[in-house]
Amino acid sequence: MASAKLTPLAMAVLELLHERPMHPYEMNQLMRRRHVSNRVTVKAGSLYHTVERLVGHGFAEIVDTRREGKRPERTVYAITPPGRDAFDERAKAILGTVANEHPEFLTGLAVIDDLDRDDVLHELNHRALRLEAEIAKDDVITEELRARKLPETYWLDWRYSMAHRRFELEWVRDLVDEITAGKLTWTRGENRPSEPSEKSTERRTDEAAS
C-alpha cells in the first residue's frame, strides 16, 4: 500500500492515530461521533481489515493488548514514522489534485433527453426535497460541532460538503424552473442531431484529399 494507494478509510484511521494509540473499536466510535461517514463509508469489518493492512505495510504497529472486565481482548495500534510520512504525502496530493470522480448524478443528467419530461421533473423535485432534508441535518450537526468548541480546521470537510449540497440544491431548482418554463428542448431521442459515422467521415476525407 504505497501512499498513493491509501484509501479514504486508511487516511481516517491514520488521522485518528495521530492523536494517540487506540484500538479499532474506539476508532469506530470516534468516527461515528465525528461524522466521518460524511466522507467515507465506515463499517466495522472494513475498519479492522484496513488496520491490518496498515500494519502489514508498516504504517501502523501494535503497541498494547488490553482487556477490560469481561470484554474481549482489544489490540491497541499506533502510527509509525513511515505511516506519518505516507499520510502527509497522500494528504498533500489529495489537496492539490483535481480528480475526475464521476458522480452518478452526471449519468442521470446525460440521459435526461431520453426520459419522459414529467418523470424527470418528479425525480428532480424529489432530489431537491432530499437535499433540503440533508441540509437541515447539516445545520443540526454544525450547531453540535460549534457547541463542542472544536477548531474549524477539524471540520473543514464538513463545511465543504455543506457548501456542495447547498450549491447542488440551487442548481437543481434552477434546472426544474428551466424545464417547467419550456426553456429546454425535449426530443425524447427523436430528431436528435447525430454525428456522422466513421465510414462517412473517412469517405469525405478521402474525397477532399483527391
39 or 126: whose pLDDT is higher? 126
Return the C-alpha cell found at 30: 470516534
Residue 125, pLDDT above cutoff 60: yes
Average pLDDT over residues 180-189: 84
Of all residues in the chain, the percent with pLDDT exceeding 70 is 86
* Angstrom distance (rounded) from CA 116 to CA 111: 11
In the DSSP assignment, the letter for residue 27 is H
CA distances from 46 to 8, 13, 28, 90, 151 (A): 12, 11, 10, 20, 29
Mean pLDDT of the chain: 87
Domain ranges of the chain: 3-96, 104-180
pLDDT digits (tens, 9 = 90+) for 13-53: 999 999 999 999 999 999 988 888 878 888 888 999 999 99
Give residue 60's pLDDT.
96
Q: What is the pLDDT of residues 128-170, one digit of tens each?
A: 999 999 999 989 988 888 888 878 888 888 889 999 999 999 9
Task: Give the containing element (helix H, strand E) for 75.
Answer: strand 74-79
| Per-residue model confidence (pLDDT) at position 2 | 58
| CATH architecture assigned to 3-96 | Orthogonal Bundle (1.10)
Q: 197 is written with which cell numbers?
A: 459515422
pLDDT confidence of residue 107: 94
Query: Residue 197 — pLDDT band, cuts 50, 70, 90?
Result: low
Give CA–CA dist 186/188, Å, rounded. Answer: 6
Q: From CA 84, how far away is CA 67, in angstroms rounded?
A: 28
pLDDT of residue 78: 97
Instruction: Report the percent of the chain where pLDDT is more than 90.
Output: 59
Confidence of residue 8 (pLDDT cuts 50, 70, 90): very high
3-class state of residue 22 by DSSP: strand
pLDDT of the residue at 28: 93
